[in-house]
Structure 1
Amino acid sequence: MPEAVAARRLARRLRDGGRRAALAWRWRARALTGAALIGVCCIFFFGLEPLGVAHAAGAAANTPAQAGRPAVPVPGVPAQPRANLPGPNPPPATPGTTAGGPVRAQPARMPFYVATRGATTIYVLGTLHVGDPADYPADQPFRAPILAALAASPTLALELSPDELLVSQDDVSKYGVCRHDCLPRLLTDPLWHKLALRLRGNPAALEAIKKMRPWLASLVVETYDSLSAGLQTEYGTEAQLQNVYLKTRGKIVGLETLPQQMHAFTGLSLAQQREMLAQDLVQTAAQNVADVRALHRLWQVGDADAIAAWQAAKSENLARDKRISDSIDNRIVYERNRRFVSRMLQLAAPNKPLFVAIGALHLGGPKGVLQVLRQHGFVVEAG
């Protein structure tokens, strides 16, 4: 029986057992940062909770443990029970008031840059796959320079195109889900017991994760931590960009193909996959939640290099094997950064600005997208 069919039957059994797993496709943001199978993304509803799973991503939406990893749709995983989530869930944001009346809500600053080379302009926005309603006020979801750049750009480029996003779940099931309980035998005994202990309050999730390969199990853990931070996938940056861009424009393209994104994970060695999962389990769930919230605050401030420096410090702390950890970052962050820029250069043209929205953790630092653009002769300035 094909593994995709097995995954669908697993999801059906979970639903029939009372753990509803209704699937809804939609644009959105690893990880906290972006929106795709692994980059733009799908939204899965586990129970009543919308989860965008890790650019990878996170939600594996660019979580601190898995920088730049795309958010991936995770098939058939039940929601983490609310009672077991660390920390309270913040109430919906409401406008503040002063003695003079309501305070006008301001959009998050977000990392936003303008790269120019002669008559060629590329606007680069760093995204989060999950967010807070207060990040995108209804009357003005983005800052004026971002809205102006969107209006001026005939093309919006995300990590994955809409067409490929719609077929992504079958590939995730095919390459990330086993027919039988494979995860316990693919992990070392200590790592498996640590994961089982983390999910002890959610036996249905533990049963589902047994059928996943380590890279996908890693993104599941990140998804739970992102949800626990009180952030929501419907407020991922890509979903909000669509709401603005598609009112007047319609051309949205991908910087990667679905096979390229999938290969970033499926090409990982077993040692690399184990390292990914081990990093997610170094800290307690509460500590991971605190990191998710810290990353969200940095993204709100909007300094890509500050985000990159913070992430580098986190990676140093979480790495179990630095050599293997560096090889993972090279494969699923830095190689993709170079691929993103190559595609941008193909799409950009003189006097036809290109608007690019990718996970915020891809932007800053010596190997980030902004630096790669500089190496190609662009002048990059904060927008």
Structure 2
Amino acid sequence: MPKINSLLYFLLLMVVLIGCTNNDEAPVDNEELNEETEESTDDATYNYDGDGGFLWKVDNGETTAYILGSIHLGHEDYYPLANKIEEAYESSDVILPEINMFEVDMTEEELNEMALFDDGTTLDKVLSEESFRKLSNIFEAQGMSVENFKQYQPWFVESLLTEFIAEKSDLSSEYGVDLYFLQRALEEDKKIMELETIEGQYEMLTGFSMDTQVETLENYIGAYEDQADWLNQLGYNWVHGNSKRDSLVNQLSDSFEGVNEEYKQELNDSRNIRMANKLEEILQSDRGQTYFAIIGSVHALIDPSVPSELEQKGYEVERIY
């Protein structure tokens, strides 16, 4: 399997854990989690064998676009996915991920140029004393020293915390739905076109004001201990999405409550509009091909979503799964 740069991948996953500190949804109880296996346990054990995924279809002339609401971190028990999703992929000529992570390449020098403070500021000067202390404890638990990262801007440190959280959770980027289909597309020589550009992603991440970066990182640090289970529940809600769609929508919606407006606008709303515009270009070109777009479920379910934006443009968007 081609390798991906794991750090760069987690830079693009921060939206997944944007705000579990605001998630008021009650955790799924053990009885519900194990109802299919009839097991009993004192700890929450998530059953990741389900019927999840959200699939839409849009036609224009001889061109068809499928839109899959996916999840970037997954579990091996997810696969194979529901028949309608697998069949939509099989019928497609072109695969449209947000970013083709197998082609992302960046040197440490290039990354540092974007991520380091350029004015002598250090992390301990912009974070509150309490937040910096908690951050130090988090790094120490990872066998690392926060002192080695004081020169990095908050958005970059937030991406490191995302990686730590994923390592603590049941889910893995190795089983992410986008990588699952990208790997198959490479093996089957399907054409791959990106909905976004890696340059655009980096411009977004580095473009946040310092106030926004500090606010979101401090919220992230405050909710750190709950994030891994929040992520587990997200993975559970996604894979059981056809029977628990409201649970996933509520969890994603709640995660945006109280989030800095600049952060939400750039990480979700503006990107959804741009992805919808890209899909409209493809539909209007009407090359007689079938396209399979793979976007995070938040981009497909939380308005202004990609499907809702296409509907506003006058397309009939059919939810087929």
Fold shared by both chains (TM-score > 0.5):
yes
Which of 237, 240, 245 is matched with 1:298 structurally?
237
Give yes or no for contact 1:52–1:130 (8 Å, CA) kept in 2.
Answer: no
Map 1:1-383 to 2 at 5 A: 26=3, 42-43=5-6, 52-54=9-11, 56-57=12-13, 60=14, 62-65=16-19, 108-136=51-79, 141-161=80-100, 165-167=104-106, 171-178=110-117, 182-285=122-225, 287-302=226-241, 306-316=247-257, 319=258, 325-348=260-283, 349-350=285-286, 351-380=288-317, 381-383=319-321
- In structure 2, the CA distance between the partners of 1:64 and 1:263, relative to structure 1 (3 Å rule), is closer
Give yes or no for contact 1:125–1:357 (8 Å, CA) kept in 2.
Answer: yes
Q: Higher relative contact order at CA 8 Å, sep ≥6: structure 1 or structure 2?
A: 2
Shift of 1:305: 6.5
CA distance in 1, matches of 2:134, 2:18: 19
Match of 1:12 in 2: none
CA distance in 1, matches of 2:162, 2:123: 17
Give yes or no for contact 1:61–1:223 (8 Å, CA) kept in 2.
Answer: no
- In structure 2, the CA distance between the partners of 1:63 and 1:284, relative to structure 1 (3 Å rule), is closer
Supply the AA of the counterpart residue of 2:169.
Answer: A
CA distance in 1, matches of 2:166, 2:62: 40
Could you tell me the percent identity over the aligned residues?
20
Give yes or no for contact 2:50–2:240 (8 Å, CA) kept in 1.
Answer: no
Give yes or no for contact 2:70–2:297 (8 Å, CA) kept in 1.
Answer: yes
CA distance in 2, matches of 1:114, 1:242: 20
Supply the AA of the counterpart residue of 2:234.
Answer: L
- In structure 2, the CA distance between the partners of 1:175 and 1:25, relative to structure 1 (3 Å rule), is farther
Give yes or no for contact 2:140–2:146 (8 Å, CA) kept in 1.
Answer: yes
Shift of 1:309: 2.9
CA distance in 1, matches of 2:240, 2:316: 22
Aligned pairs, number? 291
- In structure 2, the CA distance between the partners of 1:261 and 1:64, relative to structure 1 (3 Å rule), is closer
CA distance in 2, matches of 1:168, 1:298: 36
1:321-349: CA deviation from partner (whole Å, max 9, x where unpaired):
x5xx1221001211011111111222334
Shift of 1:313: 1.5
1:119-149: CA deviation from partner (whole Å, max 9, x where unpaired):
432111122222111112xxxx232222222
Gap runs ≥5 in structure 1 = 1-23, 28-41, 45-50, 68-95, 97-104
Match of 1:16 in 2: none
- In structure 2, the CA distance between the partners of 1:168 and 1:291, relative to structure 1 (3 Å rule), is farther
1:268-316: CA deviation from partner (whole Å, max 9, x where unpaired):
000110122122123251x111211111111112366653432222332
Gap runs ≥5 in structure 2 = 22-36, 38-47
CA distance in 2, matches of 1:370, 1:170: 38
- In structure 2, the CA distance between the partners of 1:148 and 1:340, relative to structure 1 (3 Å rule), is same
Query: SS state of the match for residue 166, structure 1?
Result: coil
